């Protein structure tokens, strides 16, 4: 090498290495951390060792080249580092492993062969989503430990100050250590309930990204993407579990429409007015095949039923062709499986489109007394919509104004103000809340 090459090469290699490390961070973080926790015996120590491993990858890969299996290299490095730290700590203070039962692999060799490394990601996920932790803590831990987001990124995703999120994560990790929340996959009798808890946490990650509860933007796409990635990961780790494929189907079939939900001015476009050619056909195809798989279970789970509802929309060529009776029937089944006020609200909306706005409105009014819906903006928004369609404009206006007060999302507020202008200026325009089933 000579001349410009001498200066150019290291720089090029650095960029290439940085990209490889970033890629490994995105794809392998959960695997590397999960495998390291087993050796470190403690989540905090494992996190530190994994961060060290990624940092040393930047320099080592630059000089000795990017390994064939970056994830395996990172895992072996992180596990060695964790074991070193633990041995040192053990000699100093005779510390006991905090997370693992004695003999459960704590003192094992970190492994030099990549084939030796077990896939512990399920353990990590079940620990993060343990029912003894608050749901917000479960979601925060999952994003931090399984997805590898920084504390600042998790804080941004939920629009809380970084210090608040750091405290929440620390508290949760302290509880895992102090209460000895185990690092293992639940046994068969409890597995079903525990999987349900994990799926609920993953779905919460997705829905928070799909329609942000607050802030200027309608969607937080990175969060929605993480939700989809987590669902894909679970599907790989728990193959043949119908609720898992149901959740993946639901997310795919909902996310397929994401590109059509906003217009050029970042204003909400209702399902009715969406340009269906913008829907992601490949996501719909994959979602339908997942749905088919999850519907093999009898009775179908709640995520499969929600996915089936999303599929009716996705498969409908136009808004006018939407089979509202099919959707209504699916909501009836869903209500049996999952009798929640939010499901009843969505069923009432479907009824309004299947049988007429008067019928839908009567159902919505019956839900007015539900304490769980008292601060739920979509109840008021749906009432406004049906009232407008019935020509009861002053009442529609009041309902939309109520929804404006209840939502914290700026894009939704702008949309609701436009609905008021539309209803009071001209005839009411029918539409449906656009969101996850």
Partner 1 sequence: MSKYLILIYQDEAVARQAEGESISASYQEFQRRRGPSLLGGAALHPSSTATSIRRDGSGGFAVTDGPFAESKETLGGYYLIEAADLDEALEIAKEVPAGVGVEVWPVRVTS
Return the residue of 1, 178, 188, 369 that touches partner 1, per CB under 8 A: 178
For residue 268, the cross-strand partners are 262
Query: Cα-atom radius of gyration of the chain, to the nearest Å?
Result: 25
Q: Nearer to partner 1 by C-beta: 42 or 363?
A: 42
Quote the tokens at residue 304: 């499969």
| Candidate list 179, 405, 418, 421; residue touching partner 1; CB under 8 A | 179
Which of helix, strand or coil describes residue 212? coil
Q: To the nearest whole angstrom, how small is the minimum distance from the Cβ of residue 78 to partner 1?
A: 24
State yes or no: residue 182 binds partner 1 (CB under 8 A). yes
Considering the complex, what minimum distance in angstroms separates the CB of residue 128 from partner 1?
14
* Binding track, positions 49-88, relative to partner 1; x by CB under 8 A: ----------------------------------------
Distance CA(39)–CA(45), nearest Å, equals 10
From the CB of 118, what's the least distance to partner 1, in Å?
19
Of 183-222, binders to partner 1 (CB under 8 A) are: 186, 190
Which residue in 69, 180, 285, 292 binds partner 1 (CB under 8 A)?
A: 180
How many whole angstroms separate alpha carbon 268 and alpha carbon 415? Answer: 6
Residue 172 or 248: the one with the smaller Cβ distance to partner 1 is 172
Interface mask (CB under 8 A) for partner 1, residues 126-145, using x and -?
A: ----x-x-------------
State in angstroms the smallest separation of the CB of 371 from partner 1.
21
Backbone phi and psi for residue 425, each to the nearest 5 degrees, phi listed first = -80, -40
Q: With beta carbons less than 8 A apart as the criterion, state whether 170 and 162 touch.
A: no
Minimum CB separation of residue 100 from partner 1 in Å reads 9
Q: Which two tokens stand for residue 315?
A: 């498969």
- CA–CA distance, 204 with 104 (Å, rounded to integer): 32
- Compute the CA torsion angle 31, 33, 39, 44 (nearest 10 deg): -160
Residue 117: what are its φ and ψ, rounded to 5°?
Answer: -80, 120
**CA–CA dist 281, 288 (Å, integer):** 10
Q: In the structure, how many helices (H) and strands (E) does the chain have?
A: 18, 2
87 to 106: interface string for partner 1, x by CB under 8 A? --------------x-----
Nearest to 243 by CA among 300, 312, 311: 300
Closest distance of CB 177 from partner 1, Å: 9
Residues 315 to 354: which contact partner 1 by CB under 8 A? none
Kindly tell me which of 185 and 429 has the beta carbon lying closer to partner 1.
185
List 129, 181, 198, 295, residue binding partner 1 (CB under 8 A): 181
Residue 168 structure tokens: 């929440």
Name the residues that contact partner 1, by CB under 8 A. 101, 130, 132, 178-182, 186, 190
């Amino acid at each position: 090498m000579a001349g410009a090459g001498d200066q150019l090469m290291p720089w090029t290699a650095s960029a290439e290495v940085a990209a490889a490390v970033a890629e490994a961070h995105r794809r392998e973080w959960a695997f590397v951390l999960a495998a390291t926790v087993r050796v470190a015996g403690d989540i905090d120590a494992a996190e530190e060792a994994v961060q060290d491993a990624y940092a040393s990858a930047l320099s080592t890969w630059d000089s000795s080249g990017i390994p064939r299996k970056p994830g395996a290299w990172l895992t072996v490095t992180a596990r060695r580092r964790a074991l070193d730290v633990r041995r040192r700590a053990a000699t100093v203070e005779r510390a006991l492993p905090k997370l693992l039962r004695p003999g459960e692999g704590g003192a094992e060799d970190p492994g030099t062969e990549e084939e030796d490394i077990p896939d512990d990601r399920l353990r990590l996920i079940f620990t993060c989503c343990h029912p003894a932790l608050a749901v917000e803590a479960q979601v925060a831990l999952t994003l931090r430990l399984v997805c590898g987001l920084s504390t600042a990124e998790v804080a941004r995703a939920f629009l809380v100050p970084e210090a608040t999120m750091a405290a929440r994560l620390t508290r949760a990790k302290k509880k895992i250590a102090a209460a000895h929340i185990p690092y293992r996959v639940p046994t068969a009798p409890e597995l079903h309930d525990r999987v349900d808890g994990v799926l609920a946490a993953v779905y919460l990650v997705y829905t928070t990204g799909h329609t942000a509860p607050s802030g200027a933007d309608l969607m937080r796409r990175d969060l929605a993407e993480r939700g989809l990635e987590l669902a894909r990961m679970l599907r790989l780790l728990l193959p043949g579990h119908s609720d898992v494929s149901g959740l993946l189907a639901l997310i795919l079939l909902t996310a397929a429409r994401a590109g059509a939900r906003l217009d050029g001015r970042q204003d909400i476009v209702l399902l009715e007015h969406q340009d269906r050619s913008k829907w992601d056909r490949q996501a719909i195809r994959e979602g339908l095949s997942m749905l088919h798989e999850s519907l093999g279970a009898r009775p179908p789970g709640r995520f499969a039923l929600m996915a089936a509802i999303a599929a009716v929309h996705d498969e409908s060529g136009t808004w006018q062709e939407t089979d509202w009776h099919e959707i209504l029937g699916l909501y009836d089944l869903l209500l049996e499986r999952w009798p929640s006020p939010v499901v009843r609200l969505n069923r009432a909306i479907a009824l309004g489109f299947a049988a007429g706005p008067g019928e839908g409105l009567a159902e919505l009014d019956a839900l007015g007394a539900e304490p769980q819906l008292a601060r739920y903006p979509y109840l008021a928004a749906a009432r406004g919509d049906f009232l407008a369609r019935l020509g009861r404009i002053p009442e529609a206006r009041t309902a939309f104004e109520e929804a404006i007060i209840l939502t914290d999302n700026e894009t939704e507020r702008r949309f609701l103000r436009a609905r008021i202008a539309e209803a009071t200026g001209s005839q009411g325009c029918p539409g449906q809340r656009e969101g996850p089933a």
